[in-house]
Structure 1
Amino acid sequence: MRSIADTITRLHPKIGATGTDRLSDLPDFGASASGLRARCYVPDDLPAGAPLVVVLHGCTQTAAAYDHGSGWSELADRHGFALLFPEQTRANNPNLCFNWFLPADTTRGQGEVAAICAMIEKIRAAHALDPARVFVTGLSAGGAMASALLATYPDVFAGGAIIAGLPYGTASSVGQAMERMRGSGLPDAATLTRAVRDASPHQGPWPRVSVWHGTADHTVAPATGEAVVAQWLGVHDLSAGPSETALVDGDAQRIWHDGDGRVAVEAHAIAGMAHGTPIDPMGEDGCGAGGAYMLDVGVSSTLRIAESWGLTDTIAVPRARARPAAPPQAANGVGDIIEGALRAAGLMR
């Protein structure tokens, strides 16, 4: 029988640092005992009051490799914001996964979530960044840790984007984590909501959350993405029915507005995409580079997430292009196409 470490390694082949490492170290962030490394990217002549994006890599990845694949530092140069890349170490986790399932690392004031918030405070103070515009995103285990940060420190973040990740508070051991990755044993919506509301003394307002998942993800089941959506719909006191739906370049979008008409929760189901971060390196608005778990599917989650947070100068227009497609579906309109994508993911009957 394979060990857990061997299983995770097979799920996530090692991703070496490709391209140039554009990141710098952030030393002495006040919680070095956590074992995490702090890396960052700050464009030259960044003005005071700029936003900050925290980016969390997946298992076996490095911060530099994830930046190269996702293109976050390219966007930071174009649009003027700072980046923080917490990086896992093998002393903490032999597969370089953030420990999103361990209570000691996902409880407010403790472990990895506390260390990452200490990094945020360090870089924010050093560069006079805007405390009201701090955002977090991550892939897979990094996405699950983004869930944990949004739950335990909702007062720190204006928004978050969870890519192929998992909901907060659903596992407390490696065995449970593997079950949840398969979509097994997920709690009901009320329990998911309570996990976030009990994770901090915060009473709102709550961060804006977007969830990204491929409909053909066999590593972290699409059902886990739906559980993340349900968790944050409950936190925002929103009904299950979305305010609007759309289909953009194979991205079946559902959007929920709060009582003031602002976007509170978004769900993106990328038709036919496996496990990874959706990217689009092509064209003048493209960024990133394809590779293992950096999936060139004609949808730039990096750009679209930055847009949704108000970090870009202009709104990018999605471009039609050839891309691997899910099997053709008979559909009469956008609603039918979205429904077909959700059925293909096993999210509807």
Structure 2
Amino acid sequence: MRFRAFVSFLALGVPSFAAQLTQIQNYGGSARAKPGMWVYVPDTVKSDALVIAIHSCQSSAQKYFQNNKIPWKQGSDAKGYVTVWPSSTTECWDVSSKSSLSHNGGGDSNAIANMITYAIKKYEIDPKKVFVTGGSSGGMMSNVLAATYPELISAVSLYSGVPAGCFVSTSGASAAWNNTCSGGQSISTAEHWGDVVRGMYSGYNGTRPRMQFWHGSIDATLSPKNYDETLKQWTNVFGVTTTPTKSQKDTPEKNYRTDDFGPSVQGIWAVGVGHSVPSHLTISEAWFGL
């Protein structure tokens, strides 16, 4: 009887949850850089939103997707949005070279922008619902994308990164490590950091993505001072002060502090947390409006 019931259950056409991470071989565009593009389309698509999840150094789309601490697959399954998982061809993302730090420059950022354009058309995404997240090197790239392709992105939630342009390479090398920036010694004015963003897409005067950034107070890989510099950068871009309009202690959890700087900039400071701050799916999704 149990077997017959099971057969009848299958005959009803109950979904088998066959969704899997799938590589897109040719996502188009003219970028010279060719990182891999992987896509996860949930079994039940209930949203016309898109989330780009960008991995850290020494990782890949597949590893990031399979990491239980990276919750974007679970979010995709629960809320039915498509996710794109770029995969770097180098140890870390190129957030250093002029090609990647310039709009349509041909570098890694250009290639990810091409992935977004491809996904919008292929999966019928609402262009106003494109969101970017990432940790460490992926957090750095999230900042760079916000600066170089603001017209493609509605909001960013990045973890343990540095200001856009902080890792710039004076030699022109791609994916170069910058000890000055990582060590928290790249200290400048808000105006300078804002100019760095504006210079990455010269002449752009359209809407910019809402920025949420997280950093741990004892990060030994990317100095916590990068939180302050990132704060300077985006408050300047949005024309607001570095004085919070709202501050909440023990939010979203104990020993975290959430500071709002108007409606478009939010910093989350994690006391006692190292590198990198764990992903908080619910809070990031809320920032995206998902």
TM-score normalised by the chain length of structure 1: 0.71
Q: Tell me what 1:139 maps to.
A: 135
Q: Deviations over 1:57-78 (max 9, x none)?
A: 1100122322332110101111
Residues 51 and 132 in structure 2, CA contact (< 8 A), matched pair in contact too:
yes
Letter in 2 for 1:74: Q
Which residue among 253, 256, 275 is the counterpart of 2:261?
256
Say whether 1:99 aligns with 2:94.
yes
Say whether 1:81 aligns with 2:81.
yes
Letter in 1 for 2:165: G
Q: Which runs of 5+ in 1 are unaligned?
A: 1-20, 258-262, 280-300, 312-349
- In 1: Cα distance, 2:93 partner to 2:187 partner: 20
Q: Tell me what 2:56 maps to.
A: 58
Measure how far apart 1:172 and its partner are. 2.5
Q: Deviations over 1:198-254 (max 9, x none)?
A: 222321322100110011101100111221111000000001111100122121110
- In 1: Cα distance, 2:144 partner to 2:271 partner: 27
Measure how far apart 1:175 and its partner are. 6.9
Residues 244 and 261 in structure 2, CA contact (< 8 A), matched pair in contact too:
yes
Say whether 1:303 aligns with 2:274.
no
Q: Tell me what 1:187 maps to.
A: 188
Q: Which runs of 5+ in 2 are unaligned?
A: 1-18, 170-174
Which residue among 214, 218, 221 is the counterpart of 1:212?
214
Letter in 1 for 2:199: D
Q: Deviations over 1:109-166 (max 9, x none)?
A: 0211111111111111111011011011111111111111000111111111121101
Partner of 1:227, secondary structure, is helix
Residues 215 and 272 in structure 1, CA contact (< 8 A), matched pair in contact too:
yes
Say whether 1:34 aligns with 2:65.
no
Partner of 1:246, secondary structure, is strand
Say whether 1:24 aligns with 2:31.
no
Q: Tell me what 1:165 maps to.
A: 161
- In 2: Cα distance, 1:226 partner to 1:195 partner: 16
Letter in 1 for 2:75: L
Letter in 2 for 1:24: T
Partner of 1:155, secondary structure, is helix
Identity of aligned residues (%): 25
Partner of 2:151, secondary structure, is coil
- In 2: Cα distance, 1:147 partner to 1:22 partner: 28
Residues 170 and 187 in structure 1, CA contact (< 8 A), matched pair in contact too:
no
Residues 170 and 186 in structure 1, CA contact (< 8 A), matched pair in contact too:
no
Letter in 2 for 1:187: S
Partner of 1:269, secondary structure, is strand
Q: Return 170-179 or 215-224, whichever deviates more.
A: 170-179
TM-score normalised by the chain length of structure 2: 0.84
Q: Tell me what 2:103 maps to.
A: 108
Closer/same/farther in 2, CA of residues 33 and 158 from structure 1, 3 Å limit: same
Measure how far apart 1:22 and its partner are. 4.1
Q: Tell me what 2:16 maps to.
A: none
- In 2: Cα distance, 1:251 partner to 1:204 partner: 33
